[in-house]
């Protein structure tokens, strides 16, 4: 019987961060075959988003989108116009998972946002304090 590794954080995980730390957790992920910087990890949301700049940068066409009609409210409380939904491969470490992203045409300092469903799919835990994500991979703990 294989016992899964325990995922947790210690003070050693804060090495390299400036404390006290109060910023969002922002990482680099491989999305659609490209390394994408400025991906925010939003533990408080279920919505995975890519912004128009990434959509265009991946050379995706309007025909690649699936309809998505639920309203989305921005961080500022405004209703955001959605272009649609698209499924893209997201790679962290050696593992690739398919993620359904909502495509949004709005300004953001981030290129994409991943949320709770992505973390749960990975069996991952994140810490804004430590500025890391830890997840099980081949019987060990890997981190982003």
Each residue's pLDDT expressed in tens, for the chain with a length of 144 residues: 567 778 888 889 888 887 777 789 999 999 999 999 999 999 888 889 999 889 889 998 888 999 988 877 776 777 787 889 999 999 988 889 999 999 998 888 999 999 999 999 888 999 998 899 999 988 889 999
pLDDT of amino acid 103? 93
Is 1.10.3210.10 the CATH number for 26-143? no
Domain boundaries, the chain: 26-143
Q: What is the pTM of this model?
A: 0.87
Q: Cα separation of 104 and 110, whole Å?
A: 12
pLDDT of amino acid 89? 95
Q: What angle do CA 62, 35, 52 make, to 5 degrees?
A: 30
Q: Going by C-beta distance under 8 Å and a sequence separation of 6 or more, which residues neighbour residue 124?
A: 7, 118, 133, 134, 135
Q: Cα separation of 54 and 14, whole Å?
A: 30
| Order of strands across the sheet that contains 140-143 | 125-127, 132-137, 140-143
β 79-80/140-143 pair status? unpaired
Q: Which two tokens stand for residue 77?
A: 């409380």
Burial of 25 (0-12, 13-18, 19+ CB in 10 A): buried
């Amino acid at each position: 019987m294989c016992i899964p590794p325990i995922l947790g954080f210690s003070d050693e995980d804060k090495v390299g961060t400036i404390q006290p730390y109060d910023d969002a957790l922002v990482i680099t992920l491989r999305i659609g075959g490209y390394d994408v910087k400025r991906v925010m990890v939003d533990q408080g949301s279920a919505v995975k988003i890519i912004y128009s700049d990434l959509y265009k940068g991946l050379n995706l066409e309007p025909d690649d989108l699936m309809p998505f009609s639920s309203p989305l409210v921005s961080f500022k409380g405004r209703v955001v116009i959605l272009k649609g939904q698209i499924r893209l491969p997201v790679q962290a470490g050696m593992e690739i998972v398919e993620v359904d992203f909502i495509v949004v045409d709005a300004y953001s300092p981030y290129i994409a946002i991943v949320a709770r469903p992505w973390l749960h799919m990975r069996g991952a835990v994140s810490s804004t304090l430590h500025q890391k994500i830890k997840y099980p991979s081949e019987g060990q703990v890997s981190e982003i």
